[in-house]
Structure 1
Amino acid sequence: MKRGPNDRFLPSNYVFPGGAVEEQDSYTGYSESGIYPGVTIRVERENLLLHLSAGIREVFEESGILLARDSNGLFPESDESQFNTYREQVFRGILKFSDLLKNYGLTPDFRGLHYLERWITPVFLPIRYDTRFFAAMCPENQHVSHDGDELVETLWINPREALRIHKDGEMKMVLPTSQTLQFLSSFASADELFAYLKQKERNSPLKNF
């Protein structure tokens, strides 16, 4: 997804949906029972639910994808007009994300998130972040759309093609994005990727750029 040209941080850069942890992400009604075991050894346990909750909420706000399941284990159908109303309310702080899920009998799909890596921006940059990257499958019955606020363009593309366009100077991105795409491009399919990410012994150290 492409950030707006007037953004203070990474203007006009292509990025993955995500953002900062918020107070509402500390909701205590979630359980760790649905988290894939391999994630717990690569994310600090005291912050585990916080990061996962923030990731799922931010993906919903920025892309409209709702990574939450009902009591039958199904993802909700994408009603774009209704979804857009709710994501705007969550983004503006009018509606808590946890309340939205409770109202529809949904539970965050923590088990569907798989840890990729952690990046920290250099100390000399005026705006910094310490972020965890996760990978998840997009529900087949939902559709991606940018929020029109922080993000102004949606692009669904093969990682190799994105890297080719970036190399040609037509797609602006920072090192964590290009390195993540490089990693993803080494797998022949999503199934192969997630089979690898489920390995508990996989090591992914903290990275700086």
Structure 2
Amino acid sequence: MNQLENPPIRDAATIILVRRDEGGSSVLMGMRGAKAAFMPSKYVFPGGAVDHEDAASPLARPIGELHRQRLVAEPREGISPDPHAISAAALRELAEETGLLIGLQDGPQSTWPGYAETGLSPDASQLHYVFRAITPPGRPRRFDARFFVVDAHRISGNPDDFGRACDELSHLHWVPLAEARTLNLPFITEVVLAEITELTGSVPYHAPLPQPDTVPFFDNRTASPRFAQIA
């Protein structure tokens, strides 16, 4: 199998924004384009590949220590995961694809769109690492994707204002959790939604989001799938 048939695995990060009120919980999703090389016409959460520049991107606060430890667990052979770069990529992709920001006024200056104009500094301390999945072999693109949950009340500004979003995702909207699994979803997104429903369903909407006991890991590095829990 040549490299085109089995492309290299890239680190990626995804943010699941959860909006909770007395009426229930919803998540922010958008649809990928019909001509997209990866998951065309599927509804997904905002996210994308980690860029080289993410490792040096300034953050107001780093991701929490528990999540940092879990991010470096189960490394791919020859790869040292960079929690700073992964968490920065999650916040950058959220800003690019939705225009929504999670930041603080007191922090180092960021050049990312949205953050640069508002003077906010990206805040990774609000990210809860909840899921990991590696794309199986044979796909046109492969990612080692880490999924993060953030409570929507951490958004800086109007959570319904997508005016700064790029055109990578269409039909951006808040989807009730009870309805999200009826959309045209990738398999792994369905699995993640089930995890989020279980995680958020046990706490009142006004309480902080809980930390998961472990992080489910769908390990498809090889043709023999493996499931693990990262403690």
TM-score normalised by the chain length of structure 1: 0.72
> Identity of counterpart residues, as a percentage?
28
Equivalent residues of 1:184, 1:193 under 8 A apart: no
Match of 1:175 in 2: 187
CA deviations 1:23-46 (Å, max 9, x no partner) are: 221216447x64322211211285
**Which moved further from structure 2: 135-144 or 153-162?**
135-144
Name the CA distance, whole Å, in 1 between partners of 2:137 and 2:208: 32
1:113 pairs with 2:127: yes
Match of 2:104 in 1: 69
Cα displacement (A) at 1:120: 0.5
Equivalent residues of 2:135, 2:144 under 8 A apart: yes
Equivalent residues of 1:160, 1:181 under 8 A apart: no
Match of 1:122 in 2: 136
Name the CA distance, whole Å, in 1 between partners of 2:64 and 2:191: 24
**Which moved further from structure 2: 38-47 or 2-11?**
38-47
Change (3 A) 1:161 1:106: same
Cα displacement (A) at 1:106: 2.5
Q: Choose from 35, 41, 65 the match for 1:37.
A: 65
**SS of residue paired to 1:194:** coil
Task: Please report the RMSD computed on the Cα atoms of aligned residues, expressed in angstroms.
Answer: 2.8
Aligned residues: 175
**SS of residue paired to 1:131:** strand
1:156 pairs with 2:174: yes
Match of 1:204 in 2: 215
**SS of residue paired to 1:178:** helix
Equivalent residues of 1:121, 1:128 under 8 A apart: yes
Equivalent residues of 1:25, 1:54 under 8 A apart: yes
**SS of residue paired to 2:215:** coil
Equivalent residues of 2:33, 2:168 under 8 A apart: yes
Change (3 A) 1:28 1:59: closer
Change (3 A) 1:140 1:56: closer
Match of 2:162 in 1: 145
**SS of residue paired to 1:5:** coil
Change (3 A) 1:156 1:65: same
Name the CA distance, whole Å, in 2 between partners of 1:14 and 1:2: 4
Equivalent residues of 1:3, 1:11 under 8 A apart: yes
Name the CA distance, whole Å, in 1 between partners of 2:120 and 2:62: 13
Gaps of 5+ in 2: 1-29, 73-79, 221-231
**SS of residue paired to 2:175:** coil
Change (3 A) 1:109 1:148: closer
Change (3 A) 1:101 1:140: closer
Equivalent residues of 1:116, 1:133 under 8 A apart: yes
Letter in 1 for 2:31: K
Match of 2:145 in 1: 131
**SS of residue paired to 2:185:** coil
Name the CA distance, whole Å, in 2 between partners of 1:174 and 1:185: 17
Larger strand share, 1 or 2: 2
TM-score normalised by the chain length of structure 2: 0.66
Equivalent residues of 1:144, 1:154 under 8 A apart: no
